[in-house]
Amino acid sequence: MAKDITAIEVTDLNLNYGTTHTLKNISMRIKSHSVTAFIGPSGCGKSTFLRCLNRMNDFIPSASVSGSVMIDGRDIYAPGVDVIELRKKVGMVFQKPNPFPMSIYDNVAFGPRIHGVKDRTILDGVVESSLRGSALWDEVKDKLHSPANGLSGGQQQRLCIARTIATEPEVVLMDEPTSALDPMATAKIEELCRQLKEKYTVVIVTHNMQQAARISDDTAFFLMGDLIEFGPTDRIFTSPEDKKTGDYITGRFG
Amino acid sequence: MNEKTPGAVITAIASVSLVIMVFLLYFLLQEGLPALREVSIRELILGFDWYPTEEPPALGMAPLIVGSLSVTALSALIAIPLSIAIAVFLSEVAPTWVQEVLKPALELLGFLPSIVLGFLGMVVLAPWLQESFDLLSGLNLLNASVLMGAMIIPIVASLAEESFQAVPRELRDASFALGATRWETIRKVVFPAALPGLLSASLLGIMRALGETMVVLMAAGGAALVPVSIFDPVRPLTSAIAAEMGETPVGSTHYHALFFAGLILLAMTLGINLISMWIEKKGKERWMA
Amino acid sequence: MSRKYVDRLASAVLWTSAATLVIVLLSVMAYILANGAEAISWEFLTQPPRDSMTKGGISTPIIGTFQLVLVSMTFAVPVGIATGIFFAEYASAGIFTTMLRLCVRCLAGVPSVVYGLFGLSLFVIFLRFGSCLLSAGLTLGCLALPLIITASETALLAVPQDFRLASYALGAGKWQTVKKVVLPAAMPTILTGAILSVGRVAGETAPIIFTGAAFFAPNVAKSLFQEVMALPYHIMVLATAGTHIEQTRPIQYGTVLVLLMVVMGVSSVGIIARARLRRKRK
């Protein structure tokens, strides 16, 4: 296992919303084929930081970013970067399951189709392998052409994961993917995260510290736009170096 | 103080709408149906001769009905694609400052009195058409349809914009995160999701065009003929009613026939209204699922 | 890179269609302004038409339009607000409410010329008002009613539920709560709705042609049972029915400009006021 290859290298990243300094001098190295968790109280900037990694913040006109985010040796904020290619490489799963109002099959095939795959046999293959990859195949294989909205919340979220991995990304970003789900569905997604790192680099934002402890290899703690502490999860949860991290983990605030 | 009284009074006043609707139907039927005593329904609807003041009068409304339908169809053809383009622009493409200017402007345009459009059709568009295409008169189907298009663009565009806005933000995010371009997101995600709303918006625009009077009265040319080209004059149902009612003796066959024309209009617009309501309901149910 | 090319092309097409609309709109406005401004003078606004309407001003149609608006709103505003209160506060799910909702929606779609037929048979003939200010005003009122109902209901529903609960907690009854708490909170929004319906009513022609609009009236109507001149109908008369259509063009342009200023002025006030209220709520 090539555990120590860098997937994403962030250097001195700053983000301003208008005059609000939302992210302050963030630098970190996210390891390839690992699960990295971002924790911190709400409003600390962890979701905003996640969205910097596939440039989803581009849609907020007042947001301005400085610093660099290197993925595959290229700065994704350099001029001339193809955002479309970037987002194909860095997929994202959102807080609330957001399947398109189409069939299960069309949801998963959406990405490959817009990226030019027309051949039915290839699409069938991608749909099956992606749904297997998100542990949903057995539940939906007989109703691939029924509407995705008919699935349960947990199934919808796994469908969204399948939809994301169908474009064969290198990185999968997850923005509090279980916050809208019940404990059973959450357990399934967590299990899935551990499997996903075999093939992808997973970065997950969570408000649930137990979740971070259960599934992640590395953990980053954010507070008011600052990256307070970043390191192996076992160490962060057992012997945090910063007092604020300790206070948050032991539930003294947040 | 008795708490029941105000509620009863409010309910009683609220029934006024019901009363108006009932009276409206009652009077149109009462004044319209007697036309059938003297002319068969077949001749009234399918007859091709509309000479209401001849003796005996010829009261075939087919040219009027075809007139209404042709202006409506042509104006819908002009206005609906443009309206949807404007709605897509406003909802998905325009920067905020453009939205803030254009949305109220579009709404204001919806208040433009139809008489003003009809007037422009007579004094500006008609002479221009006449010269450009070497016609006998510029007051024709095309002229009225262009103006009618302008009339319904604000209605269709505003409603269409609302249905684009009703598409959840999360769906766009999901599409962008998969690497779709803005146009792909619009075409493959936003547009299909908004489709019921767009259909309903278009139908309401068509309903408005069918019932609009002043534009066709002034710009359509007024000849009760079935048009064979877009440069032929037409006389839609609404303009026949508005032009002829004033000079018709109350209670004459012609008078009843004009009320019958009103009934046809009412039936068509109510039908479209009900269909659009049904589509809106279906659309909402789809989101709930 | 063809996907990006398509994306840019689509944006260009969308920008172009919006720009075309704006340009056409602005040039039409400029054209009317340029042609109408010449006709407008103090005399034009304050004198009645003279010499078979080929000279003089348009004071009688201006005042007639205001009278029509006044009569229609006197009917439509109270009834519309009461109906809005019914839907927002009193209506229980049932056949009556469903029917009433259906009626309001259908009335909103009835063609204006059909309202004219309705006004002719109910007010002019059946109730024997004759062709007059009252008949025409009430006909316009019926046309405006669905607009005011919808605006009122929306405004009332936007009043936070907490207000009602707080009032009930103080021991107020339902009507007291509606009258003292909910209605005052919703009133500004309801009034902007009413203003917008004035904009719609003032420009309507078809419903008044055979219910009360006069081809020509020497004086302003002094009672509800006299016919009135109205700006939109005056334009139609001068442009289509006069014997001096070409000669009176300047008067026609002037009248169009005055009507536009009245209608667009009132509507802009409504639109701006509503935008302000919405912003305040946020």
- Would you say C81 and C90 are in contact if contact means Cβ atoms under 8 Å apart? no
- C-alpha distance from B156 to closest chain A C-alpha (Å): 24
Q: Which of B178, B186, B188, B195 to mutate to test the interface with A (most CBs of A within 10 A)?
A: B178
Q: How confident is the model at residue B283 (pLDDT cuts 50, 70, 90)?
A: confident
User: Can you list the pairs that B274-279 forms with residues at least 24 positions away whose Cβ atoms lie under 8 Å?
Assistant: B274/C106, B275/B203, B276/B199, B276/B200, B276/B203, B276/B204, B276/B207, B277/C105, B279/B196, B279/B199, B279/B200, B279/B203
Contact state of B104 with C272 under an 8 Å Cβ cutoff: yes
Contact state of A111 with B193 under an 8 Å Cβ cutoff: no
Q: Tell me which CATH code domain B62-288 carries.
A: 1.10.3720.10
Closest-CA residue to A68 (of A85, A91, A52): A52
**Domains with residue ranges and CATH for chain A:** 6-249 (3.40.50.300)
**Domains with residue ranges and CATH for chain C:** 42-281 (1.10.3720.10)
- pLDDT for position C53: 80
* Single-letter amino acid code for the residue at A185: A
Closest-CA residue to B167 (of B149, B150, B184, B185): B185
* Partners of A75 in the β-ladder: A70
Question: Which class for C147: exposed (0-12), middle (13-18), buried (19 or more C-beta within 10 A)?
Answer: buried
* Partners of A92 in the β-ladder: A173
Minimum Cα–Cα distance from C1: chain A residue: A82
* pLDDT 10s digits, A224-235: 999 999 999 999
Residue A251 is classified by DSSP as: T
* pLDDT 10s digits, B62-119: 999 999 999 999 999 999 999 999 999 999 999 999 999 999 999 999 999 999 999 9
- Give me the mean pLDDT over the C91-106 stretch: 93
CA dist B27 and B30 (Å) reads: 5
- Give me the mean pLDDT over the B10-15 stretch: 94
* Residues of chain B found within 8 Å of residue C260, distances taken between Cβ atoms: 112-113, 116
Half-sphere exposure of B232 (CA within 13 A, CB side): 16
- Give me the mean pLDDT over the B197-208 stretch: 96
- pLDDT for position B289: 44
**DSSP-based helix, strand, coil % in chain C, nearest 5:** 75, 0, 20
Going through A6-58 in order, the beta strands assigned E by DSSP cover 6-17, 20-31, 35-39
- pLDDT for position A1: 43
CA dist A25 and A16 (Å) reads: 11
What is the residue-wise DSSP string for B262-286?
Answer: HHHHHHHHHHHHHHHHHHHHHHHHH
**Nearest CB to C235 within list B6, B119, B245:** B119
- pLDDT for position C214: 87
Establish if C3 touches chain A: CB-CB under 8 angstroms. yes
- C-alpha distance from A88 to closest chain C C-alpha (Å): 14
Task: Indicate if the pLDDT at residue C194 is higher than 70.
Answer: yes
- pLDDT for position B286: 65
- pLDDT for position B2: 63
Q: Which of B3, B9, B13, B20 to mutate to test the interface with C (most CBs of C within 10 A)?
A: B20
Q: How confident is the model at residue C153 (pLDDT cuts 50, 70, 90)?
A: very high
Q: What is the mean pLDDT of chain B?
A: 93
* Residues of chain B found within 8 Å of residue A167, distances taken between Cβ atoms: 178-179
- Give me the mean pLDDT over the A38-65 stretch: 90
Establish if B178 touches chain C: CB-CB under 8 angstroms. no
- pLDDT for position A67: 93
Q: Which residues contact A235 (CB under 8 A, 6 or more apart)?
A: none
- Would you say B130 and B138 are in contact if contact means Cβ atoms under 8 Å apart? yes
Contact state of B250 with C17 under an 8 Å Cβ cutoff: no
Least confident stretch, A184-198, B81-95, C238-252: C238-252
Q: What is the mean pLDDT of chain A?
A: 92
Establish if A83 touches chain C: CB-CB under 8 angstroms. no
CA dist C205 and B242 (Å) reads: 10
Minimum Cα–Cα distance from A97: chain B residue: B170
- Would you say A108 and A159 are in contact if contact means Cβ atoms under 8 Å apart? yes
Residue C207 is classified by DSSP as: G
pTM score: 0.90
**Nearest CB to B178 within list A61, A150, A163:** A163
Cis peptide before B56 (omega within 30 of 0): yes
Question: Which class for C270: exposed (0-12), middle (13-18), buried (19 or more C-beta within 10 A)?
Answer: buried
* Residues of chain C found within 8 Å of residue A84, distances taken between Cβ atoms: 3-4
Task: Indicate if the pLDDT at residue A106 is higher than 90.
Answer: yes
- pLDDT for position C218: 86
- C-alpha distance from A194 to closest chain B C-alpha (Å): 22
Q: Which two tokens stand for residue A9?
A: 């290298």
CA dist B225 and B238 (Å) reads: 15
